[in-house]
Structure formats: C-alpha cells, structure tokens
Amino acid sequence: MSKYLIGLTGGIGSGKTTVANLFAELGIELVDADVVARDVVEIGTSGLTQIAAHFGKQILNQDGRLDRVALREIIFSEPKERSWINGLLHPMIRTEMLNQLASTSSPYTILVAPLLFENELDRLVNRTLLIDISPEQQRKRTINRDSVTNEQVEKIISSQAPRVEKLLKADDVIDNHGKISALKSKVIALHNNYLKLSNNA
C-alpha cells in the first residue's frame, strides 16, 4: 500500500481511543479495527449468520444482534472457540480494513488495532505507536469503564501480548499515566514527525 500508515495499539484500558481521537482532531483519518469488527457481525451479515449457526440462537439478543457479553465469556474461557471465531472473522475484518485504508486521503492514516502485533497487522503499516500504561491501571480503568469482573479483565489481558514484548516492538511509545494535557502535547509532537515522514516516503 502506497499510503503512509501508522499502527496505533495498546492493551485494554490503555487509552487508545482517546489518543486516536486527538489525532482525528488534527485532521488525520482513522480506521478502527474494533469498529470494523462490529460492522462485520451486524444484522444481515454473513459473519453474524455463521456465528449464530455455530453457537446457537442464545448468542443473540432479543433484537437479533450479537450478544457481545455472552460471546466474550465463551471465547475467553474456551480457547478452541476463540480460535474458531478468529478464523471466521479475521479475514473479513482484514479485507474491510484494507478497503477503508485504501480510501483515506489525509497525509497519513492511523490504523487503530488492539491486537496489532498479535495478529501481525504491524506488517501493513510503516510505523507503530504503542499507548502504554501499567497492568494495574489497565485493570482499574477497564473494570470502571466496562463493569466487568477482575477475572474477566485478567483473561483479556492474558490473551494480549505481554507489555514488555509490545514495548520492544513499538517504534513510538506514549506513556499514558499522566493528564490529558500532557497527552495532547505528545500527540502533536508525533503528528509533526509523522507529517515529515509521510512527505519523505
């Protein structure tokens, strides 16, 4: 792909969305893997039809939409089912992401992907940006935000690559333990650097 792409990632509760929105405020287009993942299982999609056929109608809410809480409990407690769902959805998500990335027009584009390294999506981008916080803060933020149990958070964190591994792989790192004002200045500095890199690409 000829466009200059930045892969933005971080563990659950790290603040990826906050950082991505700050880049968007600077006029940078985003392609969000989580949004794409929701789109491919909307009502009427092949993805949702196959999930319902595999797990049964109990995986659906009363309105026919996917019950994400029920699915999350299944796939984080049964590795075999997680492998099945990944095998089904990852190709669909990847195809749609590539389509969206190809249609952007900002100086560079950000691919927001929680599992950037785990799913080898870093191969698609020119540079990677990790939003980093401690595991303790991850747990606290996620429990407060999503009203999930500590056990569920632990399962999600353990399914993602270790923090040290991601720190070693990332080209750029934003430490997100501070205030939003500090975050904004870090984003602006990176934005200016990415503009230069995209111009020279």
Q: How far apart are CA 149 and CA 73, in angstroms?
A: 11
Ligand-binding site membership of 14 (annotated): yes
Q: How far apart are CA 161 and CA 177, in angstroms?
A: 20
Q: How far apart are CA 159 and CA 146, in angstroms?
A: 17
Cα distances (Å, whole numbers) of residue 45 to 8, 34, 168, 192:
27, 16, 38, 40
Residue 28 corresponds to which tokens in the numbers above? 């940078």
Q: For 192-195, which contacts have Cβ atoms below 8 Å and span 24 or more sequence positions?
A: 194/4, 194/6, 194/107, 194/108, 194/127, 195/107, 195/108
Ligand-binding site membership of 140 (annotated): no
Ligand-binding site membership of 196 (annotated): no
Ligand-binding site membership of 147 (annotated): no
Ligand-binding site membership of 142 (annotated): no
Ligand-binding site membership of 46 (annotated): no
Q: How far apart are CA 200 and CA 184, in angstroms?
A: 25
- Known binding positions for ATP: 13-18
- Known binding positions: 13-18
